[in-house]
Structure 1
Amino acid sequence: MKRTVLCLGYGYSAQALARRLLPQGWRVIGTTRSAEKAEALRADGVEPLLWPCDLGAALEGVSHVLSSIGPDAEGDPVLREGREALAKARLDWVGYLSTTGVYGDHDGGWVDEETETGAATERGQRRVLAEQDWLGIDGLPVHVFRLAGIYGPGRGPFAKLRRGVAQRIIKKNQVFSRIHVEDIARVLEASIARPDPGRVYNVCDDDPQPPEVVLEHAAEMLGIAPPPAVPFEEAEMSPMARSFYADSKRVRNDRIKDELGVKLAYPTHMDGLRAILKVESA
């Protein structure tokens, strides 16, 4: 049977994985809510699947599943409708994309996969419950990937700096871990090659940094002055953006290296920024 991955939520990370799998002969199916986007998927060699759908029928002929659909106030929407179908499916690998937000705030301290989850935000708490729901399905070969802040082409600081809308927000002891989208795909591909059902992986680079440091380096690369410093309390942000500042921690990534053999292409934010600038400049 041809290896087939069903991407429930064909977003930024799933697209990066597809770019690695399609040249290897994989069949990739991606969900979308838009007929217009479905045409774009076809143009990229991906089979579109309008969502929501009958998951039982969608899983026919599928060997691998990647879910990046986030939970809502009522839980995980995929499992609400498709738990029974997933439990019955004969799958080789399932990946669930979660977030390092499940650890909560550690005042800049280090966390690893053995650290107890302690999400303080509602969004983080929903993710903790969603992880438990996915891992609780008997016989389903689930792997949980806790992603740090995702960046990459089109999702870097350069566009905001060029438009003059970037904010250099200063909050004492604020540290974030990050991960380039192409390294997310590397980790997922490595896990597919070495399945270990029930395992949880932190997906982040080697270089946790305060957000203002990354912005300052990006401005330097563009040859422009960084925006003025703004105290966190005075910054204009959406509630979603402000909630990210509720947690400060450094995330360890030893497990993806030791168990999956992953060598990050962008181990530091400087590596990632240089690559993004090269792509965006081209």
Structure 2
Amino acid sequence: MAKTLISFGHGYSAAGLAQRLLPLGWTIFGTTRSAERAAAIRETGVHPVVLADPNDLDQQIASATHLLISAGPDANGDPTLARFRDAITSARHLEWVGYLSTTGVYGDHQGGWVDESTPLTPSTRRGQWRVDAEAEWQALSLPLHIFRLAGIYGPTRGPFAKVRNGTARRIIKDNQVFSRIHVDDIAQVLHASIQRPNPGAIYNVCDNEAAPPEDVIAHAAVLLGLPIPPAEPYETAEMTPMARSFYAESKRVRNDRIKQELGVELLYPDYRAGLQALLDQD
């Protein structure tokens, strides 16, 4: 049977997967709310579906073999299920459903380690919305796979632009570490799961080295041959509430399962390898 993927909230990570699947003959439909974004999606070989005009998406879901859900939840719940629950639960050809969640579901562990069995104790509203959305998807009888993504970076999403224009900041908070993942590694994890489906599985998707954010900024500056931005204490740094919320959690995320179960060998095992590759491609 021909492979068809419906990509709900077709964005940065989903586009990376599409680049792997399209050359293999897959048909991919990507949803968006923007006509302008639809034009950009079409140029990549994905069939755009503007949600203001679903264009018989129920029919496409009915014949789909794979679903990828990137659209994030809000206080009203998961937007994909709110609109397409009946069509999805009625689909008869689904082999794989992937839900892109976040490592934010684990909450704050003060720099300690978490894995897929760690209890979910989110410390932010957004994290709680993700926990609720995961449970909403898990309650359905679907071949569901959950991917908890660390901080995403890649082409057009890295620290170099801010370092170059002088807006990068090195905000220092004791014992603050983040895990990260290059978008190309997200794509290869998703593809590996599609090739080895294990319904019910949950995967942390991150690289091998959680690191303080100030170290990443400093390394980017060194690679560019520019001055390292001065350190700013977290306690006195001026930040938006959104920016400050990113410092509410500190943890190191284990990624053993994507290696052992899916056979993934990370393209960019740490931020140094990832940043060097971005600079080489610049």
TM-score grouping bracket, smaller chain normalisation: over 0.9
Any stretches of 5+ residues in structure 1 without a counterpart? none
Separation (CA, whole Å) in 2 of partners of 1:144 and 1:197 = 9
Match of 1:9 in 2: 9
Separation (CA, whole Å) in 1 of partners of 2:80 and 2:120 = 22
Q: How does 1:1-282 map to 2 (within 5 A)?
A: 1-52=1-52, 53=54, 55-90=57-92, 91-138=94-141, 140-280=142-282
Amino acid at match of 1:4: T
Q: What is the RMSD computed on CA atoms of the aligned residues?
A: 1.1
More moved, 125-134 vs 50-59: 50-59
After TM superposition, give the deviation of residue 2 of structure 1 in Å: 1.6
After TM superposition, give the deviation of residue 59 of structure 1 in Å: 0.5
Amino acid at match of 1:202: N
More moved, 29-38 vs 162-171: 29-38
Q: How many residues were matched structurally? A: 279
Separation (CA, whole Å) in 2 of partners of 1:188 and 1:178 = 16
TM-score by length of 1: 0.96
More moved, 32-41 vs 127-136: 32-41
Any stretches of 5+ residues in structure 2 without a counterpart? none
Separation (CA, whole Å) in 2 of partners of 1:191 and 1:266 = 18
Separation (CA, whole Å) in 2 of partners of 1:235 and 1:17 = 37
After TM superposition, give the deviation of residue 171 of structure 1 in Å: 0.4
Separation (CA, whole Å) in 2 of partners of 1:215 and 1:228 = 10
SS at match of 1:234: coil
After TM superposition, give the deviation of residue 60 of structure 1 in Å: 3.1
Separation (CA, whole Å) in 2 of partners of 1:97 and 1:42 = 22
SS at match of 1:23: helix
Residues 110-164 of structure 1 deviation map (CA, whole Å, 9 limit, x = unaligned): 00001001001111011001000011102x1110000000000111100000111
